[in-house]
Amino acid sequence: MRVLCVAEKPSIARAVANILGGGNVNMRESNSKYIKNYDFSFNFAEAGNCEVTMTSVVGHIIRLETKPENRWGMCSHGKLFDCDLVELVDKQDVFDNISKEAATANKLMIWTDCDREGEYIGFEIFKAANKGNRRIQIADIWRGKFSHLERNHIIRAANNPIRLDMKSVAAVACRMEVDFRVGTSFTRLLTESLRQHNLIESKEVASYGTCQFPTLGFIVDRYKRVKSFVPEAFWFIDVEVMKDGTKSGFNWTKGHFFDRLYVLCLYERCLKHDFGTIVKLESKPTTNWRPLPLTTVELQKDCSRYFKMSAKRALDAAEKLYNNGYISYPRTETDKYPPTMDFRGIFEKQKQDSRWGSYANDLLSSGHQMPRNGSHDDKAHPAIHPVNYVNLAALDNQDQRKVYEYVVRRFLACCSKDAVGMSTTATLKWGDELFTASGLMVLERNYLDVFIYKKWESSKQLPSFTEGEQIKISSGKMKEGKTAPPNHMTESELIALMDANGIGTDATIAEHIEKILTRRYIAKQKVGKNEYIVPSKLGMGLIEGFDKLEFENISLSKPFLRRELEKSLQDIVNGTKIKAEVFAQVKEVYKKAFAKSNENIRVITNECQKLMR
């Protein structure tokens, strides 16, 4: 029996072939310079000893396209919502290699990433294989379910194949058709209109995407809030006392007020008293919780926050680490580890490192904590974790080194005890007003010793106050402050907003941010140590123009439409809706929005002109 195995990337094909072939693998060239074919033997649990060829694709190999009569400039833009589409082979040499290798195969086994997109790419692989061998049918396909490249894990996946998830295939097909029809129609409309008014260069494209514009909308909304902000004065009472040579500041429990006269009245009452009274002392244990297991979104947010690394760079580095077998699959929504996780095995591999090895060894000798479980589980992959050890110096670049070290330290932190401290709060009564001061003593750092990115330190300790103690007020002042504007958007904040509003998936968030950056709808600005994202004049004009159209019950610059689509796609996966039903509903909404945009395109171009000239 001959089995054709196809992975999603060449590096995965090579790694899986070497594991299953036990090192006894013959490599052959293909017609594609990126693709190799690996021949070996493997004893499958379901089929016995088989001759195997392992090859791969490089992502999608088939794309949607219009027929020639509906290409750009050949038809009205609105026709794209209803015209026939065709599937074109996007990478002919890769497609032909699969067809050729399938011709003599008895079985097809898919080794694509275990997410929705991976299921659809698996379906594309089936189409290529079926062209070369009509005996290969959907019902006969094996599908390897794996999340990392550790040897025993891959062998288990080979011996316990599942079926291709055709409901996930249908969901991705629905999303792809929506994005293609909506994206091409609006993109042609915007591009031609902006070119006519010399608002973009003749070779530039003003693309529209159902995720791109809500992402841009978040940035524009924040920018407008910053620019329209008007500072407002407020007043508060500030108190200091001196004891045992230590000066302690107390904060007014009422915060602040915008009514100066009201605060002045309260302050004048306080001034009648030279002493205050410690009316309450409270000391209690406090805990700084260790982090939850790592998801893709958290990885991107933290890399942006700690390393000033873009979401795309972080995901690219994680992908390379995964392809090389160092970490688990980095595209996951799951923030928990499976009960079968071999924690001690991972500690054993990491104890050789000079930076965190002694900490890993302590977890081995003293015992580890079971990680906290989050509330998310995508049923496809566990939370991101290290699989094999690699010396940082052996990695290709700084991005990979930072991401790998972060993943390891986060994993060790998850398996550690929470940090423990003692918090002390003193309440001072001066006149009729109450003020508080707090101090923190960190007693056990625990996970903080390995998770170096988070700070939790002892504060200046309070003097030894006693309840009922009378203490002289050394300074009591009424002070004025002003409200401050919000900061512009950071990439970490943007990722969190996109995730919370269902804009893109954990795997595509980085792509959407990168796309609007490439289109020059946004720019990144560095202010001190921080980097902010602001809209360009073009980006601002497009959002302002669409917002002025006032569509009925919808917005093309807000996240609601895309969020509803994502929910409907999950309904297809769950089997409660079918693709045709979801597509028809979504298409009708966007078709009406396009018709209104087409009729009022001058409103959009006017807004862009107003800002750009």
For the annotated catalytic residues, the residue numbers are 329
Measured CA to CA, the distance from residue 352 to residue 354 in angstroms comes to 7
DSSP 386: B
Write the DSSP assignment of 139-182 as a string of letters: GG-EE---SS--HHHHHHHHHS-B---HHHHHHHHHHHHHHHHH
Which one-letter DSSP state was computed for residue 388?
S
Q: How far apart are CA 237 and CA 432, in angstroms?
A: 12
Cα separation values, 128 from 51, 56, 264, 301, 470, Å: 20, 12, 80, 38, 85
How far apart are alpha carbons 200 and 197 in whole angstroms?
Answer: 8
Dmax (CA) of the chain: 98
DSSP of 38-102? EEEEEEETTTEEEEEEEEE--S--EEEEE-GGGSTTTS-GGGGGTS-EEEEES-HHHHHHHHHHH
- Tokens of residue 220, six digits: 């524009």
Q: What span, in angstroms and rounded, lies between the C-alpha atoms of 398 and 404? A: 10
- Other C-beta atoms within 10 Å of 144: how many? 23
Quote the Cα angle for 68-71-76, to 5°: 120
The contacts of residue 487 (CB under 8 Å, 6+ apart) are: 226, 530, 532
Q: Can you give 289-346 as a three-state secondary structure string?
A: CCCCCECHHHHHHHHHHHHCCCHHHHHHHHHHHHHCCCECCCCCCCCCCCCCCCHHHH
Give dist(CA 30, CA 18) in Å, integer.
Answer: 18
